[in-house]
């Protein structure tokens, strides 16, 4: 007859590492309300859209795929409309349209420029352009979604309408870029 000895397991020790993180102090002109945050974010995306308008022609010139060139050209026209809609939002708020440098968009545009420099013209560069453009679209989709949510809570109906229209166009642009990439472009880049 075999005897089994039960071993009692000791409870696992919980180790908690607490990092000492200091709270970030707010700047002197920091947003104090959702209205302030909304206006700051509008300034940010206004700068982003205007900067994108300057970058898109370079992307189009460096693309070799006609479908990609057409998609970028279409988005230039849409982006001009995005700028106009943002100006309408500022007007609805009784504010002057004002841009505030968007560090996120600057980083995305810098990355796009780097992709152009680091790829040979042709299918590989086209794949890189699409990758960079989709990162921009995803940033814009997130931003316009957030702004629309703010506008809804703030009951800024005109802004909400404009922001949702732009959000839909950004989503469609992202889908179009995916279709262009899927039309053998990525396979050609291999």
Q: Given this model, what pLDDT does residue 44 score?
A: 98
Distance from C-alpha of 161 to C-alpha of 92, rounded to nearest angstrom: 11
92-110 per-position pLDDT tens digit:
999 999 999 999 999 999 9
Rg for the chain, CA atoms, rounded: 24
Q: Is residue 62 domain-resident? A: yes
Q: Is residue 117 domain-resident? A: yes
Q: Is residue 1 domain-resident? A: no
CATH number at residue 174: 1.20.1260.10
Q: Given this model, what pLDDT does residue 21 score?
A: 80
Alpha carbon separation from 98 to 22, 26, 127 (Å, rounded): 32, 22, 34
What domain count does the chain have? 1
**pTM (2 d.p.):** 0.84
Q: Is residue 5 domain-resident? A: no
Q: Given this model, what pLDDT does residue 139 score?
A: 98
Distance from C-alpha of 105 to C-alpha of 170, rounded to nearest angstrom: 15
Distance from C-alpha of 190 to C-alpha of 87, rounded to nearest angstrom: 43
Q: Is residue 21 domain-resident? A: no
5-37 per-position pLDDT tens digit:
555 555 555 555 556 688 998 888 888 899 999
120-141 per-position pLDDT tens digit:
999 999 999 999 999 999 999 9
b/e 76-87 (16+ beta carbons within 10 angstroms → b) = eeebeebbebbe
Element (H, E) at 36: helix 34-62
Q: Given the structure tokens 């009784």, which residue do they identify?
A: 94
- pLDDT: which is higher, 12 or 84: 84
Q: Given this model, what pLDDT does residue 122 score?
A: 94
Q: Is residue 154 domain-resident? A: yes
Alpha carbon separation from 40 to 29, 33, 76, 178, 180 (Å, rounded): 11, 11, 24, 31, 34
* Structural domain that includes position 138: 34-188
Q: Is residue 184 domain-resident? A: yes
50-71 per-position pLDDT tens digit:
999 999 999 999 999 999 999 9
Q: Is residue 83 domain-resident? A: yes
pLDDT band at 2 (very low <50, low <70, confident <90, very high): very low
């Amino acid at each position: 007859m075999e005897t089994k000895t039960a071993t009692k397991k000791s409870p696992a020790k919980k180790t908690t590492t607490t990092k000492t993180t200091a709270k970030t102090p707010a700047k002197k002109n920091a947003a104090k309300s959702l209205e302030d945050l909304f206006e700051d974010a509008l300034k940010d995306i206004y700068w982003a859209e205007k900067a994108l308008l300057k970058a898109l022609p370079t992307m189009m010139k460096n693309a070799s795929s006609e479908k990609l060139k057409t998609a970028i050209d279409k988005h230039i026209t849409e982006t001009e409309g995005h700028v106009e809609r943002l100006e309408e939002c500022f007007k609805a708020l009784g504010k002057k349209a004002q841009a505030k440098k968007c560090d996120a968009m600057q980083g995305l545009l810098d990355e796009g420029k780097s992709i152009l420099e680091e790829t040979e013209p042709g299918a590989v560069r086209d794949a890189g352009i699409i990758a960079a453009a989709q990162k921009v679209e995803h940033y814009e989709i997130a931003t316009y979604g957030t702004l629309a949510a703010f506008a809804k809570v703030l009951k800024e109906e005109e802004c909400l309408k404009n922001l949702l229209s732009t959000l839909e166009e950004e989503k469609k642009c992202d889908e179009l870029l995916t279709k262009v990439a899927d039309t053998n472009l990525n396979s050609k880049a291999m």
